[in-house]
Amino acid sequence: MRRALIAKIKIAQKELGLDDGTYRAVLERVTGKRSCTECSIPELERVVEDLRQHGFTPKKTAGRRPNRRSSADPMMRKIEALLLDNGWSWNYAHGTAKKMFKVDRVEWLSDGNMHKLVAALQIAANRKKKEV
């Protein structure tokens, strides 16, 4: 939690174009401390909130499993297992679905196309294992 908050603050510093002096002034104004490492978790959360008020918008993570109808749940679990085993994100599956079927999201695929996607991911996984 703490490392994630510090990372978020550093990303905000870069996106807002704050030099080191300005960044430390913001920290001191919000927490009374000049370094993130000296701050507690609630203080770090206050810094993130202050940076949001000054224009920082954190990006959404793409790692969440998409919602899907229950008939496709076994295929979604298989896709998720293939992704995890190979260190791929859901964006990899979405990109493969877009390339193969011109559909932006895996959860929008028909059952037949979802089977084809699983086969394609399995083939890619086998190729990856051969390379190693």
The whole-number pLDDT of residue 115 equals 94
Give the pTM. Answer: 0.49
Are the beta carbons of 33 and 43 closer than 8 angstroms? yes
How does pLDDT run across 100-132, given as a tens digit for each residue?
999 999 988 988 999 999 999 999 999 988 876
How does pLDDT run across 37-82, given as a tens digit for each residue?
899 999 999 999 999 998 888 776 656 656 656 767 888 899 999 9
> Phi/psi at 39 (nearest 5 deg)?
-90, 150
Are the beta carbons of 92 and 102 closer than 8 angstroms? no
